[in-house]
Amino acid sequence: MGPDPEVRRSEIAANLAAVRERIAAACAAAGRTPDEITLVAVTKTYPASDVVHLAALGVREVGENRDQEAAGKAAEVRAAGADVHWHFVGQLQRNKARSVASYADLVHSVDRPALAGALAEAAAKVRDRPLDVLIQVNLDPGAPELSDPLHRGGVSPASVAALAELIGKDEALRLRGVMAVAPVDDAGAAFARLALVAAGLRADHPNATVVSAGMSGDLEEAIAHGATHVRVGTALLGKRALLG
C-alpha cells in the first residue's frame, strides 16, 4: 500500500519550500534573483504520482535519467492530466533517441556527434518543432575529447565548440546551452570552469543561454557561478527507493 496522497503532498510541499529558500538565499548571495533560476525536479525512481503532486504545487519542469522509466511515466502523468515539461538528464544511447524525442522538451546530455545525429533524425520524424538540447561538458580533470564508457559523460571543454557547430547546422535540433555534473570534491571550481565554457558558447551561439548545473548537494555553488537550471531530486522527494 502506497503512502497517503495528502501526507505525501504535504511532505513534498515542505521540501519544496526548503529548496526554494535555499535557491533564494543563494541568489541573494550572488546578487541574482530567484526568477533567474529554473528548478528541475529529478524524479527517477519516484512514482508518477509524485510528479502529479509536484505539478499541483507549481513545479512543471521534471527530469528523468532513463528512458525505460521515463517513457512510461510521461504517459502516466499525461493520462492523469498533469501538464509538465520533461527534461532528459541522463546518459542516452542512440537506440533510445526516437523514444526520448517523442516526449522530452529538453535533452541535457548530448555529448557526441553520433547522438546528436540520432536525436536530429528522430526529432524530424516524431516532432513538429525542433528538439531543444544542451551539450554535456565533462569537468573532470583529463576529460576525453568525446564521451567514452570509462569516464563520466560529457565532452571536454575544448570540444564544445565543434559539437555546437554540428548541432547548429541541423534544423531538427535547437542548441540551448550546456550542462555538467561537478566532481564532488571541488564543485565551485568546476562550475567556474563551466561558466567560462558557457560564455564562450554564447559568443558564437547567442541563444544558447541555459547553464544546467547543480543538484541537491551543490546548488548554491552552481547558482554562484551562473547556473540557470538546477536539477534537484533527493532534497525534494526524499531518499530514493526502487519503484515496485
Asked if 99 contacts 69 with a C-beta cutoff of 8 angstroms, the reply is no
Domain boundaries, the chain: 5-237
C-beta neighbour count of 10 within 10 angstroms:
12
pLDDT for 234 beyond 50: yes
User: Above 80 in pLDDT, residue 227?
Assistant: yes
Residue 153: predicted pLDDT: 82
C-alpha separations of 162 from 24, 65, 79, 155, 166 in Å: 36, 25, 40, 10, 6
**pLDDT for position 15:** 98
CATH class of the domain defined by 5-237: alpha beta
What confidence tens digit (pLDDT) does each residue in 19-38 have?
999 999 999 999 999 999 99
| Confidence tier at 244 by pLDDT (50, 70, 90) | very low
What's the DSSP call for residue 94?
A: G
Supply the pLDDT for residue 241.
Answer: 56
pLDDT tens, residue by residue, 95-151:
999 999 999 999 999 999 999 999 999 999 999 999 999 999 998 876 555 544 444
Contacts of 102 by beta carbon, 8 Å cutoff, 6+ apart: 71, 122, 126, 127
